[in-house]
A and B are shown apart, each in its own frame.
Chain A
Amino acid sequence: MTSTYDSGESEVEQSGQQTAYTVSAVSDYLKASLESDPRLSDLTVVGEVSGYRNPSSKHHYFALRDEQSVLSCVMFRSGRGGQFLTDGVQVVCHGRISIYTARGDLQFYVDQVEPDGVGALQQAYEEMKKRLESEGLFELDRKRALPEMPSRIAVITSPTGAVIQDILNVLTRRYPLAEIVLIPTSVQGEKAAPELVQAFQALNTMDDIDVAIVARGGGSLEDLWSFNEEIVARAIFASNVPVISAIGHETDTTIADYVADRRAPTPSAAAEIVAPDIRDLGGYVSGYTARIDELIGRTVRDSRSQFELAVDRMNLRIPDTAAPRQRIDDLLARARLAGQHLVESSKQRLATVEASLNALGPAKILNRGYTITRLADGSAATSAGQFTAGDKLGVTFADGSVETTVNEVDQDANIVDP
């Protein structure tokens, strides 16, 4: 049978002895032919949905059409993207071409539906992603570490809207030590990609920026598309400073996110990643002061014990002073005692001298030839000057006295040298 058909359609026209095939045989043959064509079994078709039906079976029946042609389609309930099937909507369908033999209908058996545009974008995205990846733009090896305490942080985003405010709010609260340099750009639309590129070029001309954040709020894939553009990816790649990306929501991953040194799930998270929290920094400072306290305490303790050790060592070398001290005390006691004796004996000797002096007495002196000269009133005279010529004068001897009169007074008389 196959050979007969293989001979070509000219033979079909030859009627008469030509073999007749059953409908089923032809249908089966057509089905097999279509299904063996690799192009028709892995096919993506773009067109407008029409005649959409979704009966209780949950399979989707519809047609794809353009200006000239219509293609009958079915997607079983296992297919993805059924929600995009609405009459009049441009979609991109993937599937295979075959024949529904029961009706002899040529059909496109769809397994996936996407809205047109998104699908095209998606495909371009996947292709470029592969290309940049193979070029090494996403290499983990080239991801740079973020500075620990950035002084100047560039923020590349829209100057208006929630994103910049979120970032500034977080940094005001957590890290008010930095200067924020806002590099304003569009973040969606046709201008966005070239402006982002310019922003990164501007960033590279500034030499005092430590780190950059490129951010955009959430949006549709089309809204975020600028961050999937190759020129933007290359601009991020060429940045002189580490780049943190925060594009859309956590579930959206753009090419920019793959190229960036660090990806943050949201703009606020980027602001938290870019710098430490001053509360933590304050904690480190207190930790250090506590440590210094501890260390200085230890040093003082060490020094004190060293000092005590030194004192101990010195004490070992000093001779014991207790014994000599006692000897001194003894000596002092004895000296005191000796002193008392001395005083006592001196007193006695003095008494003896007095006694012997008394024993001598004036009478004994007179006996030895001395006399006492008295004035007229009877008191003892001690000087020649007490007399003038004619004065009465008494002389007492040991055995009596005589009364006489002064003839002449010569005060200059020298007894020793007459």
Chain B
Amino acid sequence: MAEPSKDSTPKPAAKTFENSFAELEDVVRKLETGGLSLDEATKLFESGMKLATKCNEILSSSELKITRLQANFAEQMNLVPGDDDMDDEDA
């Protein structure tokens, strides 16, 4: 039996990407709606550019994470790390 590794796994990149992407969409929507002061628009512009940068960073730096459910799932649910070559190498 593998050791239970029920440590709180970090959020997959998809989640952070999805959040930033949704915020970016929101910025575009607000700018499109208009009626903003130049100051408000500038702030939105800045946060939009930051979000886009974050999105691009996530897209370019992410690696597929693979975990494998123990075959004997009938008795206990254990998530164990995948094979070495599939695993993120912690620096």
Contact = CB atoms under 8 A, between A and B. Distances in A.
Contacts of B38: 299-300, 303
Contact of B66 (A168, A198, A281, A303): A168
A216 to B, nearest CB: 17
Contact of A177 (B14, B67, B68): B14
A292 interface: yes
B48 A292 contact: yes
B18 to A, nearest CB: 5
B71 interface: yes
A405 interface: no
For chain B, the bracket of interface size reads 35 or more
A395 to B, nearest CB: 96
A159 B67 CA distance: 11
Contact of A149 (B17, B36, B44): B17
B67 A180 contact: yes
Contacts of B55: 281, 285
B31 to A, nearest CB: 4
A282 B57 CA distance: 10
Given A176-B13, A178-B14, A202-B77, A285 B21 contact: yes
B79 A282 contact: no
B82 A206 contact: no
Interface in B3-20: 9, 11-15, 17-18
Given A179-B66, A299-B38, A292 B49 contact: yes
Given A285-B21, A296-B31, A180 B74 contact: no
A205 interface: yes
A181 B44 CA distance: 38
Nearest to A203: B69
Contact of A150 (B14, B45, B67, B69): B14
A380 interface: no
Contacts, number: 124
Contacts of A183: 69, 73
A152 B12 contact: yes
Contacts of A178: 12-14, 64-65
Nearest to B36: A299
Interface in B31-87: 31-32, 34, 36, 38, 41-42, 44-45, 48-49, 52, 55-56, 58-59, 62-69, 71, 73-74, 77, 79, 82, 86
Contact of B65 (A179, A275, A299): A179
B64 to A, nearest CB: 4
Contacts of B44: 292, 296
Given A171-B64, A288-B48, A295 B31 contact: yes
A149 B41 CA distance: 29
Nearest to B10: A179
B11 A296 contact: no
Given A177-B14, A179-B65, 13 more contacts: A148-B18, A151-B14, A171-B64, A176-B64, A177-B13, A202-B77, A281-B59, A282-B59, A285-B24, A289-B48, A289-B49, A291-B32, A292-B27
30 contacts: A149-B21, A168-B66, A175-B14, A175-B64, A176-B13, A176-B62, A177-B12, A177-B58, A177-B59, A178-B12, A179-B64, A179-B65, A179-B67, A180-B65, A182-B69, A183-B69, A183-B73, A199-B73, A281-B59, A285-B59, A286-B52, A288-B52, A289-B49, A291-B28, A292-B27, A292-B31, A292-B49, A295-B28, A296-B31, A296-B45
